[in-house]
Chains A and B, each alone.
Chain A
């Protein structure tokens, strides 16, 4: 499954007059898990919003499956792209199940109710994400980590071709982070969907991503297979830290050890 999902051609984006992304050229392929990395303020979330069609670039253009993103209808896009935001909060006391069922929205006609198959699918996803026991609880009474799993379940219910994650593991504990990423990884390997994930943790990225895209000051600093991008020279340039990268038999992936350079931090 080696087809192109996105093609970004000289994409720039600014909030008012504050440039965030500049001249991004990139091709994102289907069938893999792509990690977007970079320091704070490097434009990771903005890039994700551009890919999701929630924002539109001021210059350049973004093609999704060969067609300009701006020409898609929002609802059609929602049938192939699902987003898990960083902070998922909801303003009224909807039950967990009601929130998960919201993922069916782009697939349902206006007054249609979920079919029996839809209901079964919702239950299956809630079981897999470990929230079935919470199904009747009001979402506002859950912990941050539980709410985040509900957000993931809702996105899976959308039956997307691509799942976009914006630091979706930030509020999860270690066990739930690993469980979530493994669940998604299995689905990527099974050819069910692709994943594009904004991540902070280099070691999680090393374990779960096939490919990395490294942003630095609004530019695409490097993009390529994970093993190639996790390079001490590149990491020093982008993050200003020293690193040692080695293959770890226990996790069966490359892992990164980091430290601050001995010399004073150079000005960014």
Chain B
């Protein structure tokens, strides 16, 4: 009921599980590395000490340059998508909202592929900054359009909001399809954004992803209690002293930024933000003060496990976005049907 000691212990437990899973994930792959070597390499690197001679140079390179950035990206992106899903659901009073169903992910991918096309036509943009920036613009623009389309319905009901998201996504997908046509030889990069994959995660991307995601996630978690009160509707929340419109705008902007950062690294990974908060709400209750931090760690864990599965366990690498959509899509259908039966609230 109150986020007391039990909450702190379970949160620390979740963080520990994420860390252990990350270490385990680092051992798996084409090159099997024993757990103690992983621990030796990472602790040496973390403490800025030289790695002991007996460990093979290829192993060190694979661990630090390939697997670690990918693992960290999975943790940050999974966490931020799940957290954004939880925040969108609380802000829009809509349990089916998440960055993917609202079309923000597709909008961000549209922005990112626009940069690629512009580059083909000779516009020299610094990729490291312009891709996340355009992804952010694309995500925000899409969200604004989706909210505008659904706004005729004063309570922003699920159906109209999701429908608007799907329609805008469809238009943007067509535009991305046209970009693919234009991109010709560089089409692979755009397809990558549509499918979603963590295979390309690098340290240079993490330099931007990590600080933005961590700061944004902390900011979002600050507003847990305000989000609880927003559940009582605009009028009640305002009478309890919450500047509802300003807060909603702030939170939606932060979430769009986080989603855009995630998309600019990994492409579209759908449904994480839908599934994670929903399952957690059954376990921990709807209190956003605990739900938001739990969502971050649980989302991180989910995407890390899923990515390790596609990378190291499955016989050939399936794009992670395809995997989450194959699992999440049916889950969404189940929720949608259940919601109709239960009369709209759960």
Which residue numbers of A lie inside 8 Å of B, CB to CB? 49, 52, 54, 74-79, 81-83, 85, 88-95, 97-99, 102-103, 105-106, 108, 110, 113-114, 140, 151, 158, 164
Contact = CB atoms under 8 A, between A and B. Distances in A.
B310 interface: no
Contacts of B242: 74, 105
A92 B95 CA distance: 9
B241 A91 contact: no
B191 interface: no
A92 B238 contact: no
Given A110-B222, A140-B345, A92 B231 contact: yes
Given A110-B222, A113-B2, A158 B240 contact: yes
B225 A110 contact: yes
User: What range describes how many residues of B lie at the interface?
Assistant: 20 to 34
Contact of A54 (B3, B94, B235, B281): B235
28 contacts: A52-B238, A52-B239, A54-B235, A54-B238, A74-B238, A74-B242, A74-B243, A75-B241, A78-B239, A78-B241, A81-B239, A88-B236, A89-B233, A91-B93, A91-B95, A92-B90, A92-B281, A94-B286, A97-B1, A98-B228, A99-B232, A102-B228, A102-B232, A105-B229, A105-B241, A105-B242, A151-B236, A158-B240
B240 A102 contact: yes
A151 B1 CA distance: 19
B231 A49 contact: no
B160 to A, nearest CB: 16
Given A105-B225, A140-B345, A94 B287 contact: yes
A40 B243 CA distance: 29
A254 B173 CA distance: 69
Is chain B's binding surface mostly helix, strand, loop or mixed? Answer: loop
Contacts of B238: 52, 54, 74
Nearest to A49: B235
Contacts of B346: 93, 140
A203 B131 CA distance: 67
Nearest to A99: B232
Given A54-B239, A74-B241, A83-B236, A92 B229 contact: no
B4 to A, nearest CB: 7
Nearest to B222: A110
B231 A105 contact: no
B232 A82 contact: no
Contact of B241 (A79, A90, A98, A113): A79
A164 B240 CA distance: 12
A139 B222 CA distance: 25
Contacts of B239: 52, 54, 78, 81-83, 85, 164
Contact of B236 (A77, A85, A95, A110): A85
